[in-house]
Structure 1
């Protein structure tokens, strides 16, 4: 994408008079109703260390002008450009527009709810030496103080990160997400994110797998683990996301039948039989079921609450996988 089209407008910092070749890294930030999240992110970019390579931040505002374009366009501490969609198109479209407009050799994706450290850009760039790679920094989720976070969210986050670092090198592509980077040559080889992923989930896993399949080393960099102001802070939101993600998995499986994934429907065990039995009861009601769990877990012992949330999340995923056409809850 180049220039301005009737579909979106691109704004480049008027103070940026240096040639594009000077930009080493481009940070692409997709944002939707991000006015409350962007200030902390902008502040983090403003204090990148003195050894940070020259960079630009390309913010793609996905169809809702909540003040985000003006906030980014007023930024004068580093180079910014904004792409503004006149209507909501989804995260994949925002990522693709930002990557197509980026000018750097290292293309960094940074979600708008992250708070990068002062060496964030320098470390992403350094990780691509001496050869192009696909680089992942995990989220370190920071939760609002909810009962969901206390009994389930924080523990699930710790276990997820531990599992990621223990994963075999050949499976690390599964952790591709909102804190990652590629060399331009890898982007030009693999191409854009797949617009077939329209709701929530698996567009990242798909991209990571395509990088892996194209022969690029996918590496986790522990020093790039970044605070993440997590959005799923209730059982309701977590259940709906699990359902959407399980439905999106069907798209991945159809695209990549050669890829061997862990089973979507859990194998027989006492717990998994309970999960399977609960899935039809949840059906299209993941949002309502999650809201009910949120109401009762403050009155339950932590261990019981944790099991109840786990049952809800896992059963929602099974329901979404079995009926991907019915995964239409709004979160």
Structure 2
């Protein structure tokens, strides 16, 4: 889904910034207002309540009610408008633009809904919903421009408060040597948050032997929880997430150092929309070298450039060598929706567990698949369900992370590949599951009966 050709921009850069500041930089959301003969619908993004207006009266309504009105009406009563509003409230801050549409239903794709029926995609399998989802987040671009951020993937955003708080979840097993540096880098990034921003970090010791411990000198917001049995990476993330408290959750691996501006840059994007998964690129550093003083260089990240050879393990065969440049070839993932692939990779593959941030409500409603053991790709599988339910994947290229290179955690490359092959089969199974339903597994790993 791209912006309609006749979309007429009505809000200039910076017009909303003073008003938003007076609102205390409350989280925002984009709504599509569709006038119809019997009512006016303000459709919100997936996972958010919409508004239905009759006369001067507006009421919150479940999205399925708004979608039903759009599906049952053959023609809008006038141009549809794109609104920037204070999240969850009636207050409209700006009219971003308007357009004439052929049918009211077509506006669903503007906000991240699958551009298909049945209403709400309740009956769609995950792979079907992925094929019906655009990742063209042009409405986010307009919202960012309206309050003066500039392009969302280039300009540095100002530090902004996130009063709902930030929870960082770090699965950790056998990382005694690198964990102190990771946590000190996290503390440095948290220190850059606006004063009073609630935050916490939960390190999940996934049955390490010997047990992990926190280094001295860390902020009290960082705490350690333990699992007596190995839950593996996804299960450890779920274990930590179940103990988290705040509205935005960030997953970071225990061998990954956040850049100092990482949290502030990601928070700014989530303040603009309620249905994002934000990711940044990683810079690899050898285990024996210190973390560089300069910003991470993500040029070696596979999302910038990757070469795939025949015989590569994956869901999609590689018949001949192929080199892909995902960010450049998809305009920052904007054209990476509707099931599109570049070589063997697709949009879910752009979400890596070394760093990703999304609303806690979304993350908790999905959880990482509990049946994955060992190496990969539980993060990709998690992302597939989140995208199928309406999340946009947005790269934040103005910041990044450092990743410590290390030998295979599985003990050998052969064992790692065997784990990957088994998990790819699990991933294929979950793609055939219903997007709106919980994971369907016969015997979830790590679940105590």
Q: How is 1:210-289 mapped onto 2 (pairs within 5 angstroms)?
A: 210-232=385-407, 237-257=412-432
Structure with bigger strand share is 2
Distance 1:221 1:215 in 2: 19
Q: Does 1:136 align with 2:279?
A: yes
Q: CA RMSD in A?
A: 3.0
Q: Does 1:28 align with 2:195?
A: no
Measured after TM superposition, the shift of residue 68 of structure 1 is: 2.0
Q: What is the DSSP-based 3-state SS (H/G/I as helix, E as strand, rest coil) of the residue aligned with 1:209?
A: helix
The question of whether the paired residues in 2 share the 8 Å contact of 1:27 and 1:108 is answered with yes
Q: Does 1:124 align with 2:286?
A: no
Match of 1:96 in 2: 238
Structure 1 length-normalised TM? 0.61
Compared with structure 1, are the counterparts of its residues 68 and 201 closer, same or farther at alpha carbon in structure 2 (3 Å cutoff)?
same
**Which residue of 63, 72, 75 corresponds with 2:207?**
63
Spell out, residue by residue over 1:90-130, the C-alpha distance to the aligned partner (whole angstroms, 9 max, x if none).
Answer: 11221001111111111000111011111122222222121
Measured after TM superposition, the shift of residue 144 of structure 1 is: 4.9
Compared with structure 1, are the counterparts of its residues 238 and 165 closer, same or farther at alpha carbon in structure 2 (3 Å cutoff)?
farther
The question of whether the paired residues in 1 share the 8 Å contact of 2:232 and 2:372 is answered with no
Distance 2:326 2:405 in 1: 18
Measured after TM superposition, the shift of residue 78 of structure 1 is: 4.4
Which has the larger Rg? Answer: 2
List runs of 5+ in structure 1 lacking aligned partners: 1-20, 146-155, 260-331
Q: What is the DSSP-based 3-state SS (H/G/I as helix, E as strand, rest coil) of the residue aligned with 1:88?
A: coil
The question of whether the paired residues in 1 share the 8 Å contact of 2:241 and 2:364 is answered with no
Distance 1:81 1:68 in 2: 12
Match of 1:106 in 2: 248
Match of 1:85 in 2: 227
Match of 2:336 in 1: 169
The question of whether the paired residues in 2 share the 8 Å contact of 1:172 and 1:219 is answered with no
Distance 2:188 2:384 in 1: 33
Structure with bigger helix share is 1
Q: What is the DSSP-based 3-state SS (H/G/I as helix, E as strand, rest coil) of the residue aligned with 2:347?
A: helix
Spell out, residue by residue over 1:148-169, the C-alpha distance to the aligned partner (whole angstroms, 9 max, x if none).
Answer: xxxxxxxx94555323423443
Compared with structure 1, are the counterparts of its residues 99 and 46 closer, same or farther at alpha carbon in structure 2 (3 Å cutoff)?
same
Distance 2:221 2:363 in 1: 22
**Which residue of 158, 174, 183 corresponds with 1:42?**
183
**Which residue of 353, 358, 381 corresponds with 1:182?**
358
The question of whether the paired residues in 1 share the 8 Å contact of 2:205 and 2:225 is answered with yes
Structure 2 length-normalised TM? 0.46
Query: How many residue pairs end up in the alignment?
Result: 227
List runs of 5+ in structure 2 lacking aligned partners: 1-161, 289-298, 306-324, 338-345, 435-449
